[in-house]
C-alpha cells in the first residue's frame, strides 16, 4: 500500500445513481493505443477527399475494401504507408456484445461471431481519418470530417447527429439508444440516437491532447480522463459529481470499476495501479514493461494486455499472470466479454483474438472478411 499522491474534488448536487445497464459496447477515444488518425491528417474539420464519397450502405458480400484511402484534406496515398500493409488491417476500439464483437477491418466496422470467429456483417463504412466508432443495439455511429456523427443501422446510413463545430475525441453509447460524444470544442453532448435529438450538453474543463471517454454501467457514471486526472459526470444531466487530479501518470488514462476504484496502467514504474474510491489506498501490480491496453469488466475484474502477458486482477485483490498463447505486438484495444470469461484483443499485427482469462490461451481467432 502507498499513500495517495492525488487530490480529489467532490461536487454536490448530483448523484451517480442510475439504471444498471449491461456494458455491451466499448467506448472509443481518439487517444486509445494505436493511431486515431492517419498520419498527417486531422480527424475532422475539413471536407472529404475530392472524388470519393463514402457509400450509404456496406455489405459483406460485395464491399471492396480499400487500404490507405484518406477522407479529410487532400493528402493522397501512394500505397507505401502503414495503413496499406495487409498485417495492419485490424484496428480498435472493440465493441463486445452477447455473441459478437465489432472492430475496424480496413475501412469498415465489421462484426464477428464470437463462437466461430467468422465475420457476419459490416456495420458502417469509414467517413473520416479516424478509428473512432461506437456500436450498440441497432446502431453504429462513425464521425465524418466536419464533426457530423453518421448513424448506421444494418450497414446503411439512416441519419446524422450534428456533432460540434470541430472533430470528435470520443464516442460512447451509455445504453441502446443514447450516445455521448466528446468534441474537440471541449463539450460533452448526450444524444438520443433514434430521435436525432440533443438531450444535454456540458463543458469539459480538462483539455489536452490525450483524453479518454468511458462509461461505468453499474453506477451509470460517465468519465472523462487524462493520464493524470479523472472527472465523473452524472447521467442524464452531465453534471460534474467528482474529480480526481494529480493522479500518477497512466498512458491508458483512468477507468472506473463497479466498486468505485480507479484503475490505469501507470508509467513509472510500469504497473497496473488501482486507487481506492475514498480511502486513499493504492494497490500496485508491477508489470514487466510500460504501455499495453486495459479492460474492465462489469463485475470489477481488470485485465492488462502487454506483449506476451495477460495480467488479471479480481475485485478481491487476487492477481494472476498468464503467458499469452499468441503474443500481441501493436495492440489497439481490449474488452471483456459480457460474462467476464474472455478478453477480446485487437492487435494491428496479430489480428483479433479472444483470450481465456483463466489461462491466457486463445479461445477464438477471428478470420478477416474474404475478398
Helix (H, G, I), strand (E, B) or coil at 32: coil
Output helix, strand, coil percentages for the chain, rounded to the nearest 5.
Answer: 0, 45, 55
Q: Pairing relation of β-strands 28-29 and 90-97?
A: unpaired
How many domains does the chain contain in total?
A: 1
- CATH code of the domain in which 170 resides: 2.130.10.10
294 within a domain of the structure (yes/no): yes
Find the helix or strand (DSSP H, E) in which 262 lies.
Answer: strand 262-266
Look at residues 230, 222, 169 and name the one whose alpha carbon lies nearest to residue 199.
Answer: 222
- Under DSSP, the state recorded for 247 is P
- Under DSSP, the state recorded for 30 is T
pLDDT of residue 209: 67
Domain that holds residue 296: 7-365
137 within a domain of the structure (yes/no): yes
pLDDT of residue 42: 33
pLDDT of residue 45: 35
Q: Contact at 8 Å (CB) between 141 and 160?
A: no
320 within a domain of the structure (yes/no): yes
Q: What is the pTM of this model?
A: 0.85
Look at residues 203, 190, 256, 264 and name the one whose alpha carbon lies nearest to residue 16.
Answer: 256
1 within a domain of the structure (yes/no): no
| Dist CA 335 CA 130 (whole Å) | 20
2 within a domain of the structure (yes/no): no
Helix (H, G, I), strand (E, B) or coil at 357: coil
Q: Contact at 8 Å (CB) between 104 and 36?
A: no
371 within a domain of the structure (yes/no): no
pLDDT in tens, the chain (371 residues): 333 444 444 333 333 222 223 333 457 765 444 333 332 233 333 334 444 689 999 999 999 999 888 888 754 333 334 444 445 799 989 999 999 999 999 999 999 999 999 999 999 999 999 999 999 999 999 999 988 999 999 999 999 999 888 889 999 999 999 999 999 999 999 999 999 999 999 999 887 668 999 998 888 989 999 999 999 999 999 999 999 999 999 999 999 998 889 999 998 889 999 998 765 668 999 998 778 999 999 889 999 999 889 999 999 999 999 999 888 888 989 999 999 999 999 998 889 999 999 999 999 999 999 75
302 within a domain of the structure (yes/no): yes
Residue 32's contacts (CB-CB under 8 Å, 6 or more residues apart) are 92, 93, 131, 212, 293, 332, 333
Look at residues 283, 282, 316, 304 and name the one whose alpha carbon lies nearest to residue 355.
Answer: 304
263 within a domain of the structure (yes/no): yes
Instruction: Report the chain's terminal Cα–Cα distance, integer Å.
Output: 53
Q: Contact at 8 Å (CB) between 356 and 305?
A: no
Q: Contact at 8 Å (CB) between 132 and 141?
A: no
Helix (H, G, I), strand (E, B) or coil at 180: strand
Amino acid at each position: 500500500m502507498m499513500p495517495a499522491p492525488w487530490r480529489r474534488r467532490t461536487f454536490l448536487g448530483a448523484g451517480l445513481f442510475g439504471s444498471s445497464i449491461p456494458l455491451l459496447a466499448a467506448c472509443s477515444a481518439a487517444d486509445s493505443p494505436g493511431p486515431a488518425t492517419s498520419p498527417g491528417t486531422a480527424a475532422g474539420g475539413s471536407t472529404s477527399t475530392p472524388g470519393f464519397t463514402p457509400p450509404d450502405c456496406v455489405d459483406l458480400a460485395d464491399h471492396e475494401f480499400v487500404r490507405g484511402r484518406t477522407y479529410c484534406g487532400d493528402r493522397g496515398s501512394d500505397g507505401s504507408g502503414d495503413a496499406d500493409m495487409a498485417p495492419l488491417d485490424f484496428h480498435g476500439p472493440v465493441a463486445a456484445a452477447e455473441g459478437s464483437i465489432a472492430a475496424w477491418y480496413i475501412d469498415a466496422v465489421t462484426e464477428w461471431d464470437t463462437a466461430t470467429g467468422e465475420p457476419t456483417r459490416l456495420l458502417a463504412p469509414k467517413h473520416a481519418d479516424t478509428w473512432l466508432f461506437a456500436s450498440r443495439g441497432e446502431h453504429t455511429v462513425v464521425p465524418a470530417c466536419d464533426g457530423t456523427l453518421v448513424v448506421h443501422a444494418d450497414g446503411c446510413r439512416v441519419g446524422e447527429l450534428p456533432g460540434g463545430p470541430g472533430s470528435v475525441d470520443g464516442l460512447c453509447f451509455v445504453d441502446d439508444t443514447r450516445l455521448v460524444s466528446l468534441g474537440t470544442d471541449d463539450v460533452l453532448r448526450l444524444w438520443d440516437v433514434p430521435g436525432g435529438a440533443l438531450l444535454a450538453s456540458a463543458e469539459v474543463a480538462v483539455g489536452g491532447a490525450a483524453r479518454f471517454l468511458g462509461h461505468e454501467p453499474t453506477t451509470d457514471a460517465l468519465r472523462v480522463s487524462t493520464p493524470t486526472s479523472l472527472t465523473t459526470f452524472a447521467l442524464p444531466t452531465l453534471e460534474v459529481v467528482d474529480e480526481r487530479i494529480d493522479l500518477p501518470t497512466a498512458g491508458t488514462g483512468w477507468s472506473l470499476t463497479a466498486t468505485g476504484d480507479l484503475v490505469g496502467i501507470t508509467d513509472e514504474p510500469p504497473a497496473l495501479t488501482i486507487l481506492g474510491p475514498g480511502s486513499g489506498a493504492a494497490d500496485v501490480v508491477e508489470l514487466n514493461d510500460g504501455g499495453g491496453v486495459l479492460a474492465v469488466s462489469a463485475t470489477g475484474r481488470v485485465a492488462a494486455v502487454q506483449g506476451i502477458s495477460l495480467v488479471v486482477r479480481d475485485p478481491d485483490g487476487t492477481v494472476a499472470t498468464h503467458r499469452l498463447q499468441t503474443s500481441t505486438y501493436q495492440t489497439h484495444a481490449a474488452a471483456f466479454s459480457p460474462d467476464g470469461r474472455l478478453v477480446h484483443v485487437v492487435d494491428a499485427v496479430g489480428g483479433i483474438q479472444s483470450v481465456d482469462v483463466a489461462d491466457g490461451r486463445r479461445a477464438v481467432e477471428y478470420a478477416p472478411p474474404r475478398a
